[in-house]
Structure 1
Amino acid sequence: MNHDKGDFEANLAAAAGNDPALAAELRACFVESLDNQRDLLARARCDGNWEVSALRLRSLGASFHAHGLIALAAEALESAPGDPVVLRKLAAFSQSLKEQA
């Protein structure tokens, strides 16, 4: 899954400066936030909870210009709560970030 590595990595580097430990910590926090919101999205059974989690994912993506996550969040907003396709795409996105670490 493409997660616009250039924009994400550039913003991660800008936030961390020349500190690789900080960059690793920021990446880990980003992925942890993604996984937490993905879990909440997966457990959402009503439109309101689904929408709140999708909006939080979109905000998380926007915070580091992760355009792939922003697009997935938009897809979630257009789908029904519990949509397995969206949930699988988000899981693959998260896994791709973990593999980049």
Structure 2
Amino acid sequence: MAYLGDPIDAQLAAVAGSDPALFAELRGAFLDSARRQVDLMRRSRCDGNWSMAGLRLKGLAASFHAQGLMRLVEQALAGAPGDPAVLRKIAMWLDDFSAGAQDPAPADPAPIGPDQA
């Protein structure tokens, strides 16, 4: 997926302007939606559900210019469905972002697919 743009907080600031309440609301909506997709990935019982939730999460990350999250979701989609290691990495990214990090880089940017393990 081609991707150009500023990090997530810069995009949110451009939309929210000088309204900190709107900025916080948009940031919260992003996190809620992302966590909902991660939950769907965690509960998926087939490759199709895993892929659909992953693609939705990747699209959400792309629309908010969250490059670190996009890389992690790409790793998830390239790897085995239900992989708990990549789900933990995505959850950690969301926790770091929720704690105030701008666009936390994944701890391990290398792919974790079956052929790279």
What TM-score, normalized by structure 1, do the two folds share? 0.90
Q: What is the match of residue 84 of structure 2?
A: 84
Q: Deviations over 1:7-55 (max 9, x none)?
A: 1111110111111000000000000001100000000121100000110
If asked which structure has higher relative contact order (CA below 8 Å, sep 6+), I would say 1
Structure 1: unaligned runs, 5 residues or longer: 1-5
> Aligned equivalents of 1:99 and 1:87: distance in 2?
18
> Aligned equivalents of 2:72 and 2:15: distance in 1?
23
Structure 2: unaligned runs, 5 residues or longer: 1-5, 102-117
Q: Which runs of 4+ in 1 moved over 3 A?
A: none
Q: Deviations over 1:62-99 (max 9, x none)?
A: 11110011111111111111101111001101101111
Q: Percent identity?
A: 53
Q: What is the match of residue 98 of structure 1?
A: 98
Q: What is the match of residue 71 of structure 1?
A: 71
More helix by share: 1
CA RMSD in angstroms comes to 1.2
Equivalent residues, number:
96
- The structure whose Rg is larger is 2
The residue identity in structure 2 corresponding to 1:67 is Q
Q: What is the match of residue 8 of structure 1?
A: 8
1:25 equivalent to 2:25? Answer yes
Q: What is the match of residue 111 of structure 2?
A: none
What TM-score, normalized by structure 2, do the two folds share? 0.78
Q: What is the match of residue 3 of structure 1?
A: none
Describe the SS at the equivalent of 2:99: helix
> Aligned equivalents of 1:60 and 1:34: distance in 2?
7
